[in-house]
């Protein structure tokens, strides 16, 4: 710096930092405001009212999360059904050993088989279920996957026909193989029995205080899915009255341990759907059935539906699976629960109608409705 300029500055001191900071802050604010106007507020929220106004019964979610598409939707395969014409041959007339879809026309049968390949085994192709596919032999039941898939078709038909109160509670969406599989041989979020989880403890302590997937990584009991979605135990909490003349050993009496198990299930349900307690309950009166939301009834049907799926369809297949497909502790069959379909969303695949193109999977009667 020139000597005369340095002396000039010393004789006339000026605060240049304050104005610079002010100008910089104003400039940054203008840039941020312009960004929000152009791009949008990334942390904006949207609330869904689930109960009476003024009770705080709302579900609040970030808009960017609501509007973000489920990444598995992009890989969903569908194809419109072929309206049958008189004289079209049926699958049972053309192919051998068609036990479930024999009444479907050949064209729609092949269309459905192709879709199932895309939904469940896109990498392996037909040979995943048909050992002789490369030689043109599709009739054999040599692979367990074919036996299991046949039963899964029946389960899907049953869900769509008899559990519409759950799967179509808001509008027709239905289910098909992709609802759970999402392009994987084995669906994510299946579960197996693992209790007791604490071998060093006896009694109630042996089922909790160990972080597991089944307890959603909490210290809550890890056997809630087993007790409620397989054994069908009553979902309830302890008596709300004080000094009640009852003992835990008496039949039907619920104690605080069962209450914690209920909490474990409810926490699992919340995580499965990406919602909070107010989605189904008035949190100031969980015990009052008169203050529940419509979603409570939908979820209750879902619990009964999963019970039937596990006991009538999934568990009976245990003898068909190879060892690597069975549970790590009890070698039990894989089972389903809420998250197997929902995968963190209020509606699976964000409410996309997955049954519209697949009337073959919508009924157990064989009376397929083509439009």
Q: Whole-angstrom Cα distance, residue 9 to residue 16? A: 12
**pLDDT of res. 247:** 82
**pLDDT of res. 8:** 64
Please indicate if the annotation marks 238 as binding a ligand.
no
Please indicate if the annotation marks 126 as binding a ligand.
yes
Which two three-digit tokens encode residue 34?
A: 């312009």
**pLDDT of res. 190:** 97
Give the 3-state secondary structure of 104-161: CEHHHHHHHHHHHHHHHCCCCHHHHCCCEHHHCECCCCCCHHHHHHHHHHHHHHHHHH
Q: Whole-angstrom Cα distance, residue 179 to residue 120? A: 10
Q: Which residues make Cβ contacts (< 8 Å) with residue 235, sequence separation at least 6? A: 228, 262, 265, 303
The per-residue DSSP string of 162-213 comes to: H-HHHHTSSS-----HHHHHTT-SS-TT-B-------TTS-GGGGGSSS--T
**pLDDT of res. 17:** 65
**pLDDT of res. 16:** 62
**pLDDT of res. 88:** 96
Of 104 and 253, the one with more pLDDT = 104
**pLDDT of res. 236:** 85
pLDDT tens digits along 154-178: 999 999 999 999 999 989 999 999 9
Of 285 and 268, the one with more pLDDT = 268
**pLDDT of res. 242:** 82
Please indicate if the annotation marks 152 as binding a ligand.
yes
Mean pLDDT confidence for 88-93: 96
Report how far apart the first and last C-alpha atoms of the chain are (Å, whole number). Answer: 87
DSSP assigned state of 39: H
At 239, is the pLDDT very low, low, confident or very high (cuts 50, 70, 90)? confident
Mean pLDDT confidence for 229-241: 89
**pLDDT of res. 46:** 73
The per-residue DSSP string of 62-114 comes to: EHHHHHSPPTTGGG----PPPPP-TTPPBHHHHSS---SSTTSBHHHHHHHHH
Mean pLDDT confidence for 44-66: 71
Of 5 and 217, the one with more pLDDT = 217
DSSP assigned state of 45: E
Please indicate if the annotation marks 281 as binding a ligand.
yes
**pLDDT of res. 41:** 66
Please indicate if the annotation marks 181 as binding a ligand.
yes
Place of tokens 């919602």: 275
At 131, is the pLDDT very low, low, confident or very high (cuts 50, 70, 90)? very high
Mean pLDDT confidence for 55-76: 78
The pLDDT of residue 359 is above 90: yes
List, in sequence order, every residue forming a beta bridge with 276; answer none if it has no partner. none
The pLDDT of residue 61 is above 90: no
The pLDDT of residue 1 is above 60: no
Please indicate if the annotation marks 338 as binding a ligand.
yes
pLDDT tens digits along 193-204: 999 998 888 888
- Taking Cα atoms as reference points, which of 121, 119, 95 lies closest to residue 107? 95
The pLDDT of residue 252 is above 90: no
Q: Which domains does the chain have, with CATH numbers?
A: 73-183+350-371 (1.10.468.10), 189-342 (1.10.468.10)
Please indicate if the annotation marks 113 as binding a ligand.
yes
Please indicate if the annotation marks 341 as binding a ligand.
yes
DSSP assigned state of 311: I
Rounded mean pLDDT of the chain? 89
**pLDDT of res. 48:** 73
Q: Counting Cβ atoms within 10 Å, is residue 264 exposed (0-12), middle (13-18) or buried (19+)?
A: buried
Please indicate if the annotation marks 243 as binding a ligand.
no
pTM value is 0.84
183: left (phi over 0), alpha (psi -120 to 50) or beta: left
Percent of the chain exceeding pLDDT 90 equals 64
Q: Whole-angstrom Cα distance, residue 302 to residue 308? A: 10
**pLDDT of res. 2:** 62
Q: Whole-angstrom Cα distance, residue 262 to residue 299? A: 14
Please indicate if the annotation marks 277 as binding a ligand.
yes
pLDDT tens digits along 106-129: 999 999 999 999 999 999 999 999
The pLDDT of residue 339 is above 90: yes
- Taking Cα atoms as reference points, which of 341, 334, 200 lies closest to residue 269? 341
Percent of the chain exceeding pLDDT 70 equals 91
**pLDDT of res. 66:** 65
Q: Which residues make Cβ contacts (< 8 Å) with residue 255, sequence separation at least 6? A: 238, 248
At 64, is the pLDDT very low, low, confident or very high (cuts 50, 70, 90)? low
CA 291 to chain centre: 26
Of 189 and 13, the one with more pLDDT = 189
């Amino acid at each position: 710096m020139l000597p005369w300029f340095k002396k000039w500055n010393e004789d006339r001191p000026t605060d240049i930092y304050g104005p610079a900071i002010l100008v910089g802050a104003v400039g940054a604010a203008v840039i941020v405001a312009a960004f929000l106007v152009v791009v949008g507020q990334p942390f904006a929220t949207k609330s869904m009212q689930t109960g009476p106004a003024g009770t705080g019964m709302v579900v609040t979610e970030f808009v960017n999360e609501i509007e973000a598409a489920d990444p598995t939707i992009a890989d969903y395969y569908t194809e419109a059904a072929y309206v049958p014409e008189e004289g079209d041959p049926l699958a049972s007339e053309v192919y051998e050993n068609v036990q479930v879809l024999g009444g479907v026309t050949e064209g729609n049968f092949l269309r459905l088989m192709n879709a199932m390949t895309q939904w469940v085994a896109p990498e392996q192709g037909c040979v995943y279920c048909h050992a002789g596919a490369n030689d043109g032999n599709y009739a054999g039941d040599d692979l367990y996957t074919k036996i299991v898939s046949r039963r899964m078709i029946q389960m899907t038909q049953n869900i769509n026909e008899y559990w519409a109160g759950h799967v179509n509670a808001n509008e027709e969406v239905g289910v098909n193989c992709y609802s759970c599989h999402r392009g994987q041989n084995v669906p994510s979020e299946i579960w197996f029995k693992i209790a007791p989880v604490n071998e060093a403890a006896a009694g109630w302590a042996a089922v909790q205080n160990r972080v597991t997937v089944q307890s959603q990584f909490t210290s809550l009991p890890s056997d809630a899915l087993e007790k409620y979605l397989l054994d069908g135990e009553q979902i309830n909490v302890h008596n709300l009255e004080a000094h009640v003349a009852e003992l835990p050993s008496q039949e039907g009496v619920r104690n605080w341990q069962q209450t914690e198990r209920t909490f474990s299930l409810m926490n699992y349900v919340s995580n499965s759907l990406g919602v909070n307690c107010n989605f189904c309950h008035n949190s100031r009166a969980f015990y009052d059935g008169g203050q529940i939301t419509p979603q409570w009834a939908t979820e209750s049907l879902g619990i009964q539906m999963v019970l039937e799926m596990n006991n009538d369809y999934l568990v009976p297949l245990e003898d068909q699976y190879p060892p690597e497909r069975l549970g790590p502790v009890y070698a039990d069959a894989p089972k389903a629960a809420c998250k197997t379909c929902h995968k963190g969303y209020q509606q699976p695949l964000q409410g996309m109608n997955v049954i519209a193109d697949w009337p073959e999977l919508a009924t157990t009667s064989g009376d397929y409705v083509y439009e």
